[in-house]
Each structure stands twice: as C-alpha cells, then as structure tokens.
Chains A and B, each alone.
Chain A
Amino acid sequence: MGRITLRNVTKGFGEVTVIPSLDLEIDDGEFVVFVGPSGCGKSTLLRLIAGLEDASGGQILIDGADATRVPPARRQLAMVFQSYALYPHMTVRNNIAFPLRMAGVDPATAARKVEAAARVLNLTAYLDRRPGQLSGGQRQRVAIGRAIVREPKAFLFDEPLSNLDAALRGAMRLEITELHQSLRTTMVYVTHDQVEAMTMADTIVVLNAGRIEQVGSPLDLYNRPANVFVAGFIGSPRMNLIGGADAAAMGAATIGVRPEHIDIAADGPWRGQVTVAERLGADTFLHVAVEGIGPMTVRAGGGHGATHGDTIGLTPQAGRIHRFGQDGRAL
C-alpha cells in the first residue's frame, strides 16, 4: 500500500512561506507528477513527503497513519535524487544493498534481491564497479535499483532525469514508466519538464508559488485547463493567449488557442506576417506577428512552405478556444 494524504500542509523557511496551505490525495499505485516552474515549491513538497523537511503545519498521512513527525528512515519511502546521491566509496552492489543492510535483512536474501534488481536494470555487469566508473544513465539506474530493492510504499523522484542528455532522458523516461507498470507502486515524480509530466503521469499536479493550480490527468489538463497559468504551462509550444477586443468579443478577459488548433486559411479572421519558421520535419512551427494581436505560434504540417516575410491568414478551430475570466479562471 502507498496512499499519501496531505492535509493543510504548510512550509516556511524563516519569514518566507514556500507552501501556504495545501491538500492533496495520492492514491495507492498512482503515478503522480508535480510540475511547475522553478521555485514553485514542487521539490519542497516532495521533501516534505520524504521527511527531509519538517512541515511547518498540517498533516502528512501515509496509509492513513500520521507520518508528519516520523523520521525519513521510518517512512518506508524510497527516493531518487537529481544528483543520484550514490555512495561513492561503495560498489554498485553495496550501494543497492545498503537499504537492505540498514533494514537488517540477512546477507543471503539481500544478495538475491540485489541480483534481481540488477537484472531488471541491466546492471549485472557493473555490480563490482564504483559509481565513479559509471555513465550518467547507469548511475541513475543504480539509484533506482537502490530504491526498488527495499520494496517501499512509494517512490519519490526529484528531477531524476535532468542531468541526462536528451536521448538518454527519453530512454529513461520509458524505463521508469515500464517500472511503474510492472511494480504498480505509488510514484511521486517532480519535474519542470512538461513533456515528462504529460508522458509519464496518471495524475499531474501543477504547482505555482506553492499553490496547486490544478490536479488532473494529462489530457484533462490539456483539454480543460482550469486557469491561464495551467493553460500556458501545459502543452508545447505553449498556448497562444490573447486579450483585448478579440477576447471581449467572446465574453472573456483572455482567450487561448493552442498552436495545433489554428488552421492556416487565406480568408482567416487573423492576418499576420511569418517572422520565423521552425522546421522539425514532422511539424513546422510558424511564429507569426498577427495584426492587432501580437506574436502567435501556429503548428503547420512538416511540408508547409511558408517562410520569413510571408503574409498568412489564420483561423482558430471551432470549439478549441479556451475562455478565461478576469480572475484568470476558465469560464
């Protein structure tokens, strides 16, 4: 079981309040991703769950039991750090075995579990090496191995892929997702990368300035952003947000249209000049200076021929326009 409940949790460092007051329910077996810009409190929130930071107020329950004052060692959670945080003086084998040793597991059982974890993570050949002799991806796998051997109630990941290069990041993303599918253990994952959030999560928690902006499935957040912040944060390239007369005409303070929901049509209501055309092969992203509105991003097909200086017309797809009120909330 690995059910984590946060009730009115607050956290401040001295005078500075990082998390004002927050409630959250994480179900057993769920893959939850905390996402938000840097400094939004997502890592702090994870560290509160881990017990590495003490909550200034509120309650943290793990499987219904109050864990607010329980030291990290006894919360039965495992954590994978951004810097891997491997023990440099120990071999891979001893790194992975360390939590078992701390739990007093007998050496024979521990050795068996380490071997099993190493097999799953393709680390068998490296068991007698030290972390310094491994590549970044291998180190990250050792950190994951160290987390899985102790069969924790939940895994906590603190931006585990941000030190890896793009190709490796994609591969590890897949590995972690597969790991979750085979273990079905609760995972709480912190990232600032919304692609990671969208592709891995069952549930995404969007954080901003220590507050939860929205909780939902990736497609929920994409299709029905609760407010301007979520609308702008989820989706890549980001949603075009338009204020002024165009918004007022639709009875909103701000309207939003995603780049993929704008069609290029000569007779479209919006006209503008292409400033940059980014060709990615499958897609072409056109940055357009629209008259009376400003810069807008549009996704066109990979073969679209528009280039710098061309004037084009744009039409938002019907039913794909998000409307937000004065307070930023979706209408």
Chain B
Amino acid sequence: MARAVSPQRKAAMTALAWGVALLIFFPILWMVLTSFKTEATAVAQPPQWLFFDWTVENYVTVQAQRDYFGFFLNSVIIAVGSTALGLLVAVPAAWSMAFVPGARTRDLLMWMLSTKMMPAVAVLVPIYLIFVRLGLLDTRIGLVVVLMLINLPIIVWMLYTYFREIPAEILEAARMDGATLRSEILYVLTPMAVPGIASTVLLNIILAWNEAFWTITLTTVDAAPLTKFISSFSSPQGLFYAKLSAASTMAIAPILIMGWFSQKQLVRGLTFGAVK
C-alpha cells in the first residue's frame, strides 16, 4: 500500500538516494576518467575532473604490453565453464532438496552456505597442494573446478528457492504422464524455472568473473584471466594509475555491459520469492 509522503520529504529521499548511488558509483567513474588521463594528470593535485587532455594512449600501451584478448578469453571460459558445471551439479541437488526433502535438508543447506562464511585463505594451502599434485596449477580446467566449488552453495540455494515456487502437483502430473526423472527435470522443471536459472547463471558469471583471490593465486600465464591482467599492472614498475585504470576498465567493461542489459532479470532474480 502506498504511504502518504509529503513532497519535501519525497524530494529529500530522492536526493539521498542519488547521493548514496553516486557515492557507490564514484570509484568506478573516477577509474574510467583516470584511464583517459596521462600518468602525470592522473596523480595531479588538485585532482583534474573533466577538463584535461583526454587520451587513449593508456589503452594502446596496455594492449601492447599484454594481450588483453588472451586474458579476456580465459575469463570467459572460466566464468561460463564454472557456471555451466555448477548448474549441472546444482540442478539435481536443488531438485532433491526442494521436492524430496529429508529431515536434514535444512541443515544441509545451512551447512553448504556456512562454507561461504569461511575465509578463502584458510583452505589456500590444501587447495594449492592438491593443484600441484594434480598438475592443475595455471590450467583453465583447474580454475573452472575451483570457482564452481566456491559458488556452488549460492547456485544451489538460488535454484532451491526457485524450485520451491514450482507447484509439486505439476511434477506429479509429469510423473503420472509417464515422465522419467530425467524427462521430468529436462522437459518440465527446467523450462518452468528458466527465469530463475537465468538469473542464477547471470549472478554466477559475475561472481566468477570478479573472483580475484583464487584466479590470481592459482594462475601465472596460461590460464590467467582479467583479474590477473589488472594485478599485473599494479606492482612491477611501481604504480601507474592511468594504465592500471585503463586495464581495470577493460576488465570490467564486458561484465558491466552484460549486467546493464540483464539488470531487470538480475533484480527479479535476487528478490524472487521474497513476496508471494
């Protein structure tokens, strides 16, 4: 129900909302602006806002020093691969938790989620050693598996929430109609859950794309994604803010564009089930 709000109050709330939004957006804006400055203007005091000599030389230099597309390709493979593999595991898992829950299903879900509360660095040594033994260091498949495992609890939780919204009678109808478990999941459950699965996929691609701890730690050259691309500009020659900003802008651009186009789906996904 709409609540009566005075115009002044409404204006103040709007201004506040814009303020908060700009505050959150500011670092990204500043990064993009910096990427078009020379190294000198980038660190100039007082900071230069819009009236400086705009240049794309940082982008040219960055691309000349490192092959952006190699990193980009790795990011795509790792993000999409880990999400696809995650779905393959999570759909049956979420199905069983949503439709054939046992006495411990809730506990299991909580436990899965609790693994997300553990600091990643706590398992760094064991995972690193496993990677060394299995020869997975700096391989795409290794990263796909690790990122899949890291995001799996979230995928399962999201799908579980969506599946719970699907009336069990429809799945029973499919069973009565002669559907095997596989057909039931493939032809009835999955198509009905498409909106939910889509937002799960989107969110996970974003999470995997932005994941920096494991991707930086477990790669050197061959499997290095864009996170590594950014970090490689941060140390060796000292800090070159303009180039670093250009690299960062290039790294986040694809995901930003994807997020922009799918924001409706994402918002719906994250709030789905919150209200009946």
Q: Please name all residues of chain B whose beta carbon is closer than 8 Å to the beta carbon of A98 when the two chains form the complex.
A: 174, 177, 179, 187
Indicate if B183 sits at the interface (CB-CB under 8 A). Answer: yes
Can you list, as one digit per residue, whether each of A87-120 has a CB less than 8 Å from chain B (1) or not (0)? 1110000000011001100000000000000000
Closest to A149 in B: B177
Which A residues are in CB contact (< 8 Å) with B191? 89
Chain A residue contacts of B188, Cβ below 8 A: 87
Residue from A73, A89, A146, A156 in contact with B175 in the complex, judged by beta carbons closer than 8 Å: A73
Which of B167, B175, B180 has the most A CB atoms < 10 Å from its CB? B175
- 5 A-B pairs with least C-beta separation: A85-B173, A99-B177, A102-B178, A85-B169, A79-B176
Q: List 27 A-B contacts (CB under 8 A).
A: A50-B176, A52-B175, A52-B176, A71-B175, A72-B172, A73-B179, A74-B178, A78-B177, A79-B172, A79-B176, A81-B169, A82-B169, A85-B167, A85-B172, A86-B170, A86-B173, A88-B170, A88-B192, A89-B191, A89-B192, A98-B177, A98-B179, A99-B178, A102-B179, A102-B180, A146-B177, A150-B177
Q: Is the beta-carbon distance between B170 and A85 smaller than 8 angstroms?
A: yes
Contact of A150 among B174, B178, B180, B183 (CB under 8 A): B178
Overall SS of chain B's interface: helix
Chain A residues closer than 8 Å to B169, beta-carbon distance: 81-83, 85
Question: How far, in angstroms, from A77 to B194 measured CA to CA in the complex?
Answer: 30
Count, A-B residue pairs, CB within 8 A: 62
- Contact residues of A with B, CB < 8 Å? 50-52, 71-74, 77-79, 81-83, 85-89, 98-99, 102-103, 146, 150, 156
Q: How far is the CA of A86 from the CA of B188 in the complex (A)?
A: 10
Which residues of chain B are within 8 angstroms of A73 by Cβ–Cβ distance?
175-180
Docked Cα-Cα span, A176 to B176, in Å, equals 19
- Across-interface contacts of A52 in B (CB, < 8 A): 172, 175-176
- C-alpha spacing A146/B170, complex, angstroms: 13
Min CB–CB distance B153 → chain A (angstroms): 28
Tell me the count of chain B residues lying within 8 A, CB to CB, of chain A: 18
Contacts of B194 in A (CB 8 A): 89
What chain B residues lie within 8 Å of A83 (beta carbons)?
167, 169
How far apart are the CA atoms of A146 and B179 in the complex, in Å?
13
Out of B167, B172, B183, B192, which one reaches A102, CB within 8 Å? B183
- Chain B residues lying within 8 Å of A74, measured Cβ to Cβ, are 178
In angstroms, Cα B167 to Cα A146, docked, is 18
On chain B, the residues within 8 Å of A77 by CB distance are 176
List the A residue with the shortest CB-CB distance to B173. Answer: A85
Q: Which of chain A's residues has its CB closest to B183's CB?
A: A102
Chain A hits for B183, CB < 8 A: 102
**Chain A min CB distance to B4 (Å):** 36
Q: Smallest CB–CB gap between B165 and chain A, Å?
A: 12
Chain A proximity of B148: nearest CB distance (Å): 28
CA distance A270 to B125 in the complex (A): 93
**Chain A contacts of B173 at CB under 8 A?**
79, 81, 85-87, 146
* Cα distance A87–B194 in the bound complex, in angstroms: 13
Closest CB in chain B relative to A132 CB, distance in Å: 12
B179-206 CB mask vs A (1 if < 8 Å, else 0) is 1100100011001101000000000000
**How far is it, in angstroms, between the C-alpha of A279 and the C-alpha of B156 when the chains are bound?**
60
